[in-house]
Structure 1
Amino acid sequence: MEHVCFENIRLESGVDYFLYIGEIKAFGLSEFVSQGLERRLGRPVRPIGICPDILRQYPYDNVVVINPWAKRPRVISQRGEAERVSVGPFVAHVSASRYVKSLVRLLRERQDGVYVWMFESRPEFLLQEMDGVTLLGPDPALVHQLNDKTWQYETFKEIAPVVDFRICRGRDDMLSCCADFAKRSPHGVFVSCDYSAGGVSSKVVHRIEDAECKFTDPGGKYLVSAYKPHVWDPTVLGVVGNENDVFVAGVADMTIVDGNKFRGSTYPSQLSAAVQTQLAEYTAAIGRKLGALGFRGIFGCDYIVDAKGNIFFIEVNPRKQGTTMEYCCTMEHLLPEGAANLPALEIGAVLDNRFPGNTVYPDQHRAAELDIHWGTFNYKVEGQCVRTRDELPQRLKERDLFKRVASGGAGGHVVLEHVGADVDVLPGTFMGRVAAVSSSRRGMQMALNRGKKKLASCIADA
């Protein structure tokens, strides 16, 4: 079959299905999407995941792995290789896939329409041109526009404080600007391409030579700013219902390495209640601006906070954040039973231009007293390829771990999407992730460290 490396689809009678398209690390959220669609449609709804990830084992039902770039594509082969696939080309390939189009037509024969849900709406997504296909997310063309970091700073500097910055057009202009900032910024200069995510196209530079090596596009557009020393890297997750209604889920603290590389988050935030309130207000105002531009759905805002409690805006992510699954699991116990969770809010915003009637806004005072502490860690291979020695299968759903802790049970950790044993993991690829949950911060940190050590120990010759 057409670059299909794995498939375990089993369609049940009397059940509707929607498609999740994207990396498998977000497929767990599909349970909450199902929940929102079932309430809306009044019948059982299940996901089918279309993912590029080559793993030894898949902890989910109804997964299709499509990867035309895999050098060793068969998960049952004696030796494996894991390399992260760029989401844009993957979505473009899926949109053109005869296999996927055939699957869509099969679902259309069984049900009224086919919904598609993605971690991030991508302009390469073309399946919505097929009859009966609806994207449950913000408009892809608008998302592409909003992802421009230079546009973000120019637009949101009137809403939230920003560090001193310049927009540079061309590499020579950027290098000149770096030299100028370096004279008054002893802690370094932050440089980012206009489109950058996860630290891939950005860097904190301390010498002009660093910028010359990292950024090579002579005609590129760059954001240059003084690097601001800070203590905290908070991230705020929200949902835009329309130009007036914004749901703010809460504040988590990110773990950032090398000044720009995200590696995980912890919750609840250790920032003061006053700072968290201000962060929520900035995020709601930014959400309303996004809403006025036509954006509908889940989004996130990242900030930094210095030792004096001063807040500075860093970026908007017009998509789900790395904390979305953990927030969905938290909302399940923070909000009243039957209240809309984050994907249900997004569904209402996209399809109805408003939040559903069962929306309940979270009480952040109660959230602070909720005995649920969580932390995440992404093990992303850097520098050179590593080879795994051991298999770390997922033995418990992350959502079930949250439920156990919320009911007074023991905390712990789960290893998510581990690539498996005897696999060469190439640079830039996730070897696996850890999510830890406990009734106390100390317990969560201990469980998170155990998971991190378990991941590290599975590397051959580590």
Structure 2
Amino acid sequence: MIATLDDAARLLRPAAHLGIVSRPLYLLPLLRAGALTALLSSEAADAGWAERFGVELHSLEEHTLSRDGGPGGPGLDGVTARLAGLVGARWRGRELRLAGYGGQRGHWTAAVEATGARLLVPPPVPDHEVLVDKTAMRGWFDHLGVPAPASTVVSGRPDHRALRDRFGAVFVAQSPRGSGGNGTHLVRSAEEAAALPERERWLVSEYVGDTAINVHGFVGVDGLPQVLRPSLQLIGVEAAGAGFGQYAGCDFGAPERLSPVAVRRCLDATERIGWALAGLGYRGVFGADFVLRDDHALALEINCRMQGSSWLLGETELERGDGRLPTPVRHVLERHGVPTLGKPDPDRADGVQLTVRHTGAPARAVRVPEAGAYVLREGALVRRGDAAGLLECGPGETVLVNLPPAGTLVRPGAVLARLVTRSPLTAPDGRTLTAGGRGLVDALHRLYSFGVSGTEG
């Protein structure tokens, strides 16, 4: 049973692990633990990470100098397709264990093995529709006695006139598969419904509000679920460039400012979901998303993988300084069949991340800020020193991470930076920036300069 970081290091470091992830930030706790030998990603890591964490890094972005707001899969396809040329014969004869953010694709394994290395992948996630399809999840929640928004499935294009009698003039239409809020639309009129693309299936739900909570859970190889920390999901933060339903970050301190009855109901529902996932054979970390309405909590979906907030959860756990394993490290170990000992931490955690996206036309980033810890002085962000995440964030500081390299063509929706801090950046609804949050976002934009129409001229 692996119980501490020291135990994990003794096991992980001799066994080479390969991280495959859309953004290196998502595996930061694994990098801090010295668990990774190499990392493949869609987006480039911030400057200095290879030397700081002693890891071999390869990204598609460093070759294309282009960043968009789409899913990471295509970018990972691009870097794995180049892999043999990038590593040459250095990996020949090596055995690498996969440390992935989500699932893995067969052609990624084939690309690694084409270098002469052998990639050991964990058992696949159980093949159940309720783990990947939002429409199946809603029926599953009902079976478990977990409340969820009223919903229906339609084909073609949602008919506003037919649906408004059931859900009211405003409702939500979603692609049954997707993450990060991609494919989610707020429909307020017949015109907006008509503008949606035709699909074989749309999941249409009542609109119940915007305050969303995510709760991390964990199912160990022993089949026992644990409920971990909740966080307020920052969703559709327009001032940070996020559209309706789009993930824009999280706040681990914010649940204390919300209805304690509703938060408790989220935790109880997550435990019930965890027991059900264990029964399906799922092992590892998962996340459950809820929307709050007064004192009620309605389940939206589950994510059976690490999430965009899992790295920050790991940072809050590492900050305890007691040597216990952060959840992302536990996930990789348990997915490979190694039992770990984890203990939920009920103490408050002040960790916030806000994703700021590019909203203009495609443009070449001529001037880009340097990653690190900053302080806001007289409306300007002033760099204080090197920092990779929350662990280096001092009082009153904000850490800038996940920045595009200078010279990158930044497309609409692409990440300009993530702001990591200890103080709230939004109101309790998770959508509206506070004055301080607005000041940070405005100051961040002033650190960038762009070429015209995607050029440097």
- The TM-score range, normalised by the shorter chain, is 0.7 to 0.9
CA distance in 2, matches of 1:52, 1:304: 31
Contact 1:33 1:344 survives alignment (8 Å): no
CA distance in 2, matches of 1:418, 1:326: 17
Instruction: Give the corresponding residue for 1:433.
Output: 418
When the two structures are aligned, how many residues end up with a matched partner? 407
Instruction: Give the corresponding residue for 2:296.
Output: 310
Instruction: Give the corresponding residue for 1:50.
Output: 40
Q: Deviations over 1:265-285 (max 9, x none)?
A: 112112233332221121121
Residue pairs, 1:116-135, within 5 angstroms: 116-124=98-106, 126-127=108-109, 130=113, 132-135=118-121
Instruction: Give the corresponding residue for 2:447.
Output: 458
* 1:32 paired residue among 30, 33, 38: 30
Instruction: Give the corresponding residue for 1:77.
Output: none
CA distance in 2, matches of 1:91, 1:424: 18
Contact 2:372 2:387 survives alignment (8 Å): no
Structure 2 CA distance for partners of 1:83 and 1:293, relative to 1, 3 Å: same
Instruction: Give the corresponding residue for 2:58.
Output: 65
What is the CA-CA distance between 1:122 and the residue it aligns to? 3.4
What is the CA-CA distance between 1:441 and the residue it aligns to? 10
Structure 2 stretches lacking a partner, 5+ long: 1-12, 237-242, 374-384, 428-432, 452-457
Q: Deviations over 1:298-345 (max 9, x none)?
A: 221111111x211111111122122112111111234x7232220232
CA distance in 2, matches of 1:398, 1:191: 43
* 1:180 paired residue among 162, 180, 183: 162
Contact 2:67 2:410 survives alignment (8 Å): yes
What is the CA-CA distance between 1:414 and the residue it aligns to? 0.9
Instruction: Give the corresponding residue for 1:299.
Output: 286
Structure 2 CA distance for partners of 1:59 and 1:348, relative to 1, 3 Å: closer
CA distance in 2, matches of 1:190, 1:398: 42
Q: Deviations over 1:110-152 (max 9, x none)?
A: 6xx311112111345541795742235x625748872211111
Q: Does 1:344 align with 2:326?
A: no
What is the CA-CA distance between 1:205 and the residue it aligns to? 0.7
Contact 1:191 1:225 survives alignment (8 Å): yes
CA distance in 2, matches of 1:428, 1:143: 32
CA distance in 1, matches of 2:59, 2:183: 26
Q: CA RMSD in A?
A: 3.6
* 1:256 paired residue among 235, 239, 244: 235
Q: Does 1:273 align with 2:263?
A: no
Structure 2 CA distance for partners of 1:399 and 1:331, relative to 1, 3 Å: farther
Matched residue type, 2:353: T
**Stretch of structure 1 that moved more, 153-162 or 414-423:** 414-423
Contact 1:378 1:434 survives alignment (8 Å): yes
CA distance in 2, matches of 1:275, 1:398: 39
Contact 2:314 2:327 survives alignment (8 Å): yes
Residue pairs, 1:48-127, within 5 angstroms: 48-53=38-43, 57=47, 59-61=49-51, 62-67=55-60, 73=63, 81-84=66-69, 86-93=71-78, 97=82, 99=84, 106-107=90-91, 109=93, 113-124=95-106, 126-127=108-109
**Stretch of structure 1 that moved more, 156-165 or 180-189:** 180-189
**Stretch of structure 1 that moved more, 118-127 or 258-267:** 118-127
CA distance in 2, matches of 1:348, 1:16: 11
Matched residue type, 1:118: G
Q: Does 1:392 align with 2:374?
A: no
Matched residue type, 1:437: R
Q: Does 1:282 align with 2:262?
A: no
Structure 2 CA distance for partners of 1:185 and 1:150, relative to 1, 3 Å: closer
Matched residue type, 1:297: G
CA distance in 1, matches of 2:225, 2:277: 10
* 2:350 paired residue among 373, 382, 387: 373
CA distance in 2, matches of 1:329, 1:32: 10
Structure 1 stretches lacking a partner, 5+ long: 1-13, 36-43, 75-79
Contact 1:122 1:140 survives alignment (8 Å): no
Structure 2 CA distance for partners of 1:186 and 1:311, relative to 1, 3 Å: same
Matched residue type, 1:245: L
Which of structures 1 and 2 has the larger relative contact order (alpha carbons within 8 angstroms, sep 6+)? 2
CA distance in 2, matches of 1:15, 1:434: 34
What is the CA-CA distance between 1:424 and the residue it aligns to? 3.2
Structure 2 CA distance for partners of 1:94 and 1:284, relative to 1, 3 Å: farther
SS of corresponding position for 1:393: coil
Structure 2 CA distance for partners of 1:236 and 1:184, relative to 1, 3 Å: same
Contact 1:436 1:448 survives alignment (8 Å): no
Matched residue type, 1:414: V
CA distance in 2, matches of 1:435, 1:119: 20
CA distance in 2, matches of 1:124, 1:195: 20
CA distance in 1, matches of 2:16, 2:261: 44
Q: Does 1:151 align with 2:128?
A: no
Q: Does 1:235 align with 2:214?
A: yes
Instruction: Give the corresponding residue for 1:8.
Output: none
CA distance in 2, matches of 1:260, 1:204: 8
CA distance in 2, matches of 1:85, 1:284: 32
- TM, length-normalised to structure 1: 0.76
Contact 1:89 1:124 survives alignment (8 Å): no
SS of corresponding position for 2:272: helix
Instruction: Give the corresponding residue for 1:5.
Output: none
Matched residue type, 1:378: T
Contact 2:232 2:252 survives alignment (8 Å): yes
Structure 2 CA distance for partners of 1:332 and 1:181, relative to 1, 3 Å: same
